[in-house]
A and B are shown apart, each in its own frame.
Chain A
Amino acid sequence: SPARELTQNPLQKTWEPYDNGLPAGHSAQRGVCMTNCPTLIVMVGLPARGKTYISKKLTRYLNWIGVPTKEFNVGQYRRDLVKKYKSFEFFLPDNEEGLKIRKQCALTALNDVRQYLSEENGHVAVFDATNTTRERRETIYKFGEENGYKTFFVESVCVDPEVIAANIVQVKLGSPDYVDCSNDEATEDFMKRIECYKNSYETLDETLDKDLSYIKIMDVGRSYLVNRVMDHIQSRIVYYLMNIHVTPRSIYLCRHGESELNLKGRIGGDPGLSVRGKEFAKSLAQFINEQNIKDLKVWTSQMKRTIQTAEALGVPYEQWKVLNEIDAGVCEEMTYEEIQENYPLEFALRDQDKYRYRYPKGESYEDLVQRLEPVIMELERQENVLVICHQAVMRCLLAYFLDKPAEQLPYLKCPLHTVLKLTPVAYG
């Protein structure tokens, strides 16, 4: 049979086969198929071990790289059902009423998981609960099997009392459960809550659980045990979990100083700084000095304007080509008026779907995210970093940190001569 004709999708500029005038199947455009069947991630661990922290962070990362992910926090379901939390006694292992409610919440959450993965095009669901007994995990695993999901367990194990106390202060005291309590009362109650789980806690076992796919995180990332990674997405999840840390630090994002082309209203190119741009660079140096940051790393793109800006700081910096501004292809160095005049269709398409729109012979925001992923991974590894980049690039990075969806990403405000200081706090 003759080869099918290819047409170029006007928005994304990808070549797709057409069969009798209709788009045909057969090719995936997003690089490697990240997930064939949906994946169910199951958190495991005593309270205050960072399960929700990991769930939310992982969900944010997966969504940013384009894998539709959602977390299902069973504690939230419990709060919706049992309007008022009284005390740790709810969690006593012999509290039959409590057990019934908690099991019901877990099942409701699993039902929502099923809806998300099987009916709403979700790819990954993160089931955030203690899941500390083998029996509970069996139930969940069977549920996964019945529905054709791959299951991957993430267990957080920590015995350091200081870490646990810090976690409680960070995220438990402010919980809706303790809205009417003093800090001391809340802490005391929560410690007793943890005790309720300890006797029945069955950690993932080398022998008994040898056929499961899981990662066991010990002591906030000092060491890891990884068992039977099945596919690409699990491998990426493991890599991500092994790179994140909880050491306090700040990330500074800003654009290069105003450039000569900015002044002319032209996009792209590789111009130098304008006079005002150079002044910004000097102000930035002063600002950084005043911040008194320990061991600050400075990153720039390989475009002249970010490097010139960094030069004013008088500290070592690293140039990353992947931090270069979005490539506007045939529209490079044009003004928006010129684009509208010379490429009216392109101009209109971009406004239609700014995230997926790819400039002819250029890039899209979607492409940018893919090329920036190693930057995000390294930012997770690092501590204090200043990233001097560009408008579209900064929007992508910001969207990752602030959990903004693709629709909002291309419209995030990243004005010139403004520094965004990001500090991790609680779950965000």
Chain B
Amino acid sequence: FFFFPPSRKRTKVDAERKKTFVLKMPMELTQSRIQKIWLPNDNRPALPRRSCGPQLANSPTVIVMVGLPARGKTYISKKLTRYLNWIGVPTKVFNVGEYRREAVKHYSSYDFFRPDNEEAMKVRRQCALAALRDVKLYLTEEAGQIAVFDATNTTRERRGMILNFAKENGFKVFFIESVCNDPTVVATNVMEVKLSSPDYRDCNSTDAMEDFMKRINCYQASYQPLDPDDYDRELSLIKVIDVGRRFLVNRVQDHIQSRIVYYLMNIHVQPRTIYLCRHGESEFNLKGKIGGDSGLSNRGKKFAVALNKFVEEQNLKDLKVWTSQLKRTIQTAEALQLPYEQWKALNEIDAGVCEEMTYEDIREQHPEEFALRDQDKYYYRYPSGESYQDLVQRLEPVIMELERQENVLVICHQAVMRCLLAYFLDKSADEMPYLKCPLHTVLKLTPVAYGCRVESISLNIEAVNTHRERPEEAKKGPNPLMRRNSVTPLASPEPTKKPRINSFEEHVAVSSALPGCVPQEVPTQLPGQ
């Protein structure tokens, strides 16, 4: 039993180690070493106790996309999946189109999608079934919580089939339909994401566009939109109309569906840019001290001036500027001479008893804590402080508001910036604490196609390097914390991957490998990462 006084005072801590004989005494608890969670001592089978808030979902859920081609189903699928994974709900997309591309090596033309093409109809149905089989595997054997079934699903017959599948397996079903009849929007979608599809690899843009429009036509005649007033009144669904102008929501069953609806109602597709940077170099940075509330160093002040110039050059319409409530980000914002909003939620990770220490101090005074942090930097919580996992929870409202906004500059801190960046670049919990976010560098994020383009712009003001690499000894083999979001059929082999899960580190199970994964199509790596 390792006793650690949770004092916040700046005194040296007595670590008193007692080996206590553990009696079966009621209400006896031990604090887990990495996450600092209090658990009962006895060996009772762990009741489903979540450490981070409500049980987000009990039975697994299948989200079923519905809509004609080029209505944003895949865009929504990927974005929603990214969000759910970031907040800690293991989610994966199953795109039936990808299964079809595996089965039918070469796409010839829209004829494949004609309703009277019996051969093709057979293949398409088989692809859907194969995808559903993988959905079942993911949800029942791989600790998946949510599967996003991304296909047109435009007929009642197909949706009925999926509902039966879900019922047999005890899955909840939530439908997301995207309805849009604005020809400009449809054309833009086709240009953004269809012309560059593998299907049209050998076509010019005009031919591709023409073929795709005929493809859409193939679905029109048999399209039966969701009808919550009558035929579909018992289903849980959201109908997204005209890219979010209007929503129809029916029978939200649980917390996670409520969160999904809220998220879908806050996202938009207006072009805009998000800038992330840290405060200028601080006095504490110079001394190698973590945390605290120090002011900017001279170089930090120079950075603030350079940032002002940079922002002016960007020539943006209506830039919002957000800072934390710590002095160093506010000082940085002051140089911009623009209104800014202070968010306590953007404060740096609380290092608890280690606040204002250097890493050497910590290694000396809290050697075990120092080692534990390197072992599991995402889940590790400082004594009386926070973990990256805690940070994600507190930053969720920031992400939600960022989705609502247009051009925003967020001046924050290293750990905070890593969390936000991980959301935008779809990085797993394992990678998040090691993302490179150097001082005096602005990351410019622009939504493009299904993801986010990132540009790293150094403002060329010298600063200390506060980045600590993952230590060699701590690097393990197949990483149990990595996760992937989309699956293609059993073609390309893939190392064992696991979604980030919200459970105690002591009980993390490693599941069997499921081969088949497609890397993200949009390059999202930072240079030098």
Contacts and interface: CB of A to CB of B under 8 A. Distances in A.
Query: Do these two chains interact?
Result: yes
Interface of A: 1, 3-4, 6, 8, 14-15, 17, 25-29, 31-33, 222-229, 232, 235, 238-239, 242-243, 269-270, 272-273, 278, 281, 302-304, 307-309, 311-312, 316-322, 329-330, 332-333, 361, 367, 370-371, 374, 378, 381
Contact of B340 (A26, A320, A361): A26
Given A318-B55, A319-B37, A381-B255, A227 B250 contact: no
Given A222-B251, A316-B48, A381 B258 contact: yes
Given A25-B339, A227-B246, A319-B37, 6 more contacts: A15-B327, A232-B401, A243-B258, A270-B384, A308-B38, A320-B52
Contacts of B293: 361
5 contacts: A25-B339, A226-B246, A238-B265, A330-B8, A378-B255
Given A238-B265, A273-B27, A318-B49, A31 B390 contact: no
Given A31-B344, A307-B38, A378-B255, A226 B249 contact: yes
Contact of A318 (B53, B245, B327, B331): B53
A114 to B, nearest CB: 27
A374 B295 CA distance: 33
A172 B389 CA distance: 49
Contacts, number: 169
A378 B54 CA distance: 8
A25 B262 CA distance: 33
Nearest to A229: B265
B50 A319 contact: yes
Contact of A332 (B7, B27, B247): B7
B343 interface: yes
B29 interface: yes
Contacts of B333: 27
Contacts of A227: 245-247
Interface of B: 6-9, 26-27, 29, 31, 36-38, 40, 47-55, 228, 245-252, 255, 258, 261-262, 265-266, 293, 295, 301, 304, 323, 325-327, 330-331, 333-335, 337, 339-345, 355, 384, 390, 393-394, 397, 401, 404
B38 A304 contact: yes
B228 A223 contact: yes
**Which 10 pairs show the lowest CB-CB distances between chains A and B?**
A223-B250, A316-B47, A308-B27, A226-B247, A224-B249, A270-B6, A31-B343, A307-B38, A311-B27, A3-B334
B249 to A, nearest CB: 4
B447 to A, nearest CB: 19
A316 B46 CA distance: 9
A227 B330 CA distance: 37
B433 to A, nearest CB: 18
Contacts of A329: 8
B235 to A, nearest CB: 10
Contacts of B394: 371
Nearest to B356: A361
Contacts of A316: 47-49
B342 A31 contact: yes
A316 B326 CA distance: 39
B341 A32 contact: yes
Given A235-B404, A318-B49, A321-B52, A3 B331 contact: yes
- B29, B54, B246, B330 — which one has the most chain A CB atoms within 10 A of its CB? B54
A33 B49 contact: no
A269 B11 CA distance: 15
A27 B340 contact: yes
Nearest to B345: A31
B245 A14 contact: no
Nearest to B248: A225
Contacts of A304: 29, 31, 38
Given A302-B51, A308-B27, A316-B49, A3 B325 contact: no
A378 B245 CA distance: 27
Contacts of B248: 223-226
B18 to A, nearest CB: 14
A34 to B, nearest CB: 10
A409 B251 CA distance: 36
Nearest to B54: A378
A27 B38 contact: no
Contacts of A4: 334
Contacts of B50: 318-319
B249 A242 contact: yes
B52 to A, nearest CB: 7
Given A224-B248, A235-B404, A378-B255, A27 B265 contact: no
Contacts of B265: 226, 229, 235, 238-239
Contact of B258 (A26, A242, A303): A242
Contact of B29 (A222, A308, A381): A308
A26 B343 CA distance: 14
Contacts of B246: 225-228
A3 B337 CA distance: 9
Contacts of A333: 7
B305 to A, nearest CB: 8
Contacts of B355: 361
A26 B339 contact: yes
A85 B29 CA distance: 63
A319 B342 CA distance: 29
A371 to B, nearest CB: 8
Contacts of B341: 27-28, 31-33
A58 B250 CA distance: 21
A14 B325 contact: yes
Nearest to A223: B250
A329 to B, nearest CB: 7
A132 to B, nearest CB: 21
A364 B223 CA distance: 55
A296 B9 CA distance: 39
Contacts of A361: 8, 293, 355
B53 A374 contact: yes
Contacts of A308: 27, 29, 38
A369 to B, nearest CB: 12
A307 B335 CA distance: 47
Given A302-B51, A311-B29, A321 B38 contact: no
A302 B38 contact: yes
A99 to B, nearest CB: 34
Contacts of A302: 36-38, 51
Contacts of B7: 269, 332-333
A273 B231 CA distance: 56
B72 to A, nearest CB: 18
B255 A319 contact: no
B261 A242 contact: yes
A14 B340 contact: no
A136 to B, nearest CB: 23
A316 B54 CA distance: 12
B403 to A, nearest CB: 10
Nearest to A29: B342
A122 to B, nearest CB: 21
Contacts of B339: 25-28
Contacts of A273: 27
Given A3-B304, A26-B339, A319-B50, A242 B252 contact: yes
A338 to B, nearest CB: 11
Contacts of B261: 242
A319 B6 contact: no
Given A31-B343, A223-B250, A332 B8 contact: yes
Contacts of B337: 1
A222 B38 CA distance: 39
A17 B247 CA distance: 43
Given A31-B345, A232-B401, A316-B48, A6 B327 contact: yes
